C-alpha cells in the first residue's frame, strides 16, 4: 500500500511540475514581448544573451552607438517636435563621444579588438522603419525606439560590467551606465 501511495504522489508531483513548467515557459515568453505604442515588440535583449566576451561587447556597444547616431540624425529633417530634435542632437554628440571612448579603450588591449558597428537585424529594421516616417509619426516612433535602444544599452552595459572578461571594458561599461540611464529617463519623457 505504501509503494502505491508513493507512486501516486510522485505521479501527481510530476504532473503538477509539468504544468508549472509550461506556465513558467509561457511567462518567460510573455516577458520577452512588450507592447510599444499598441504594437507587440519582441524584447531582443531578454531573448538574446548579453555579450560577455570583449569582442562581442565592443561590437554590441559600437552597433548601439551607430544606431543612436543614425536614428538621431534622421530627426534633424524628419521630426516635428523641438524636444525630439533637441534630444536627438544631444544623442548624436553623446554617442559619437562614446564611440571615440570605446575606440580609445580597446586600442591598447591585447589581443587587439576592433569594434564592428554593423547594426543587428532588429536595429536595421527599426532604423528602416524610422526612415519611412515624418512629422508626428516620426516623433512617436523615434521616442519609442530611443526607449527601447537605451534600455537595451543599459542592460548590456550592466551585464558586461558584472560578467565581462576584460577589466578595461568592464570599467568602460560601468562608467557609461549613469549617462545611458539618464538618456533612457529623458527618452521616456519624450512626446
Other C-beta atoms lying within 10 Å of the C-beta of residue 173: 24
CB-based contact 47:107 (threshold 8 Å): no
CB-based contact 163:147 (threshold 8 Å): no
User: 37-41: long-range contacts at Cβ-Cβ below 8 A with a sequence spacing of 24 or more?
Assistant: 37/140, 37/141, 37/144, 41/148
Between 14-23, 54-63, 167-176, the lowest mean confidence (pLDDT) is in 14-23
- On the question of pLDDT at 156 being above 60, the answer is yes
Closest CA to 37 of 161, 123, 136, 122: 136
C-alpha cell at 141: 516612433
113: left (phi over 0), alpha (psi -120 to 50) or beta: beta
Q: Which residues contact 19 (CB under 8 A, 6 or more apart)?
A: none
Q: How confident is the model at residue 157 (pLDDT cuts 50, 70, 90)?
A: very high
Tell me what pLDDT residue 8 has: 37
Tell me what pLDDT residue 24 has: 34
Mean per-residue pLDDT of the chain: 80
Distance CA 77, CA 86 (A): 12
Distance CA 108, CA 10 (A): 59
- Summarised one tens digit per residue, pLDDT across range 2-51 is 444 333 333 333 333 333 333 333 333 333 334 343 333 444 434 456 88
DSSP string over 56-76: HHHHHHHHHHHHHHHHHHHHH
Tell me what pLDDT residue 108 has: 86
Distance CA 102, CA 109 (A): 11
Q: How confident is the model at residue 52 (pLDDT cuts 50, 70, 90)?
A: confident
Distance CA 15, CA 7 (A): 12
Q: How confident is the model at residue 74 (pLDDT cuts 50, 70, 90)?
A: very high
Q: Is the pTM of this model over 0.95?
A: no
User: Collapsing DSSP states into helix, strand and coil, what is residue 138?
Assistant: helix
Between 35-44, 155-164, 178-187, the lowest mean confidence (pLDDT) is in 35-44
As a whole number, mean pLDDT of residues 99-112 equals: 93
Tell me what pLDDT residue 48 has: 58
As a whole number, mean pLDDT of residues 159-165 equals: 94
Distance CA 75, CA 56 (A): 29
Amino acid at each position: 500500500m505504501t509503494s502505491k501511495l508513493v507512486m501516486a504522489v510522485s505521479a501527481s508531483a510530476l504532473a503538477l511540475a509539468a504544468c508549472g513548467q509550461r506556465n513558467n515557459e509561457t511567462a518567460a515568453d510573455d516577458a520577452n514581448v512588450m507592447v510599444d505604442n499598441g504594437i507587440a515588440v519582441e524584447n531582443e535583449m531578454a531573448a538574446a544573451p548579453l555579450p560577455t566576451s570583449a569582442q562581442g561587447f565592443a561590437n554590441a556597444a559600437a552597433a548601439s552607438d551607430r544606431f543612436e547616431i543614425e536614428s538621431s540624425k534622421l530627426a534633424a529633417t524628419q521630426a516635428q517636435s523641438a524636444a525630439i530634435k533637441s534630444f536627438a542632437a544631444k544623442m548624436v554628440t553623446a554617442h559619437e563621444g562614446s564611440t571615440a571612448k570605446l575606440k580609445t579603450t580597446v586600442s591598447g588591449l591585447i589581443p587587439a579588438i576592433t569594434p564592428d558597428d554593423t547594426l543587428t537585424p532588429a536595429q536595421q529594421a527599426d532604423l528602416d522603419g524610422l526612415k519611412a516616417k515624418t512629422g508626428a509619426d516620426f516623433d512617436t516612433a523615434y521616442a519609442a525606439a530611443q526607449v527601447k535602444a537605451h534600455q537595451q544599452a543599459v542592460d548590456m552595459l550592466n551585464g558586461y560590467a558584472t560578467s565581462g572578461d576584460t577589466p578595461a571594458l568592464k570599467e568602460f561599461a560601468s562608467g557609461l551606465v549613469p549617462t545611458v540611464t539618464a538618456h533612457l529617463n529623458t527618452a521616456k519623457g519624450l512626446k
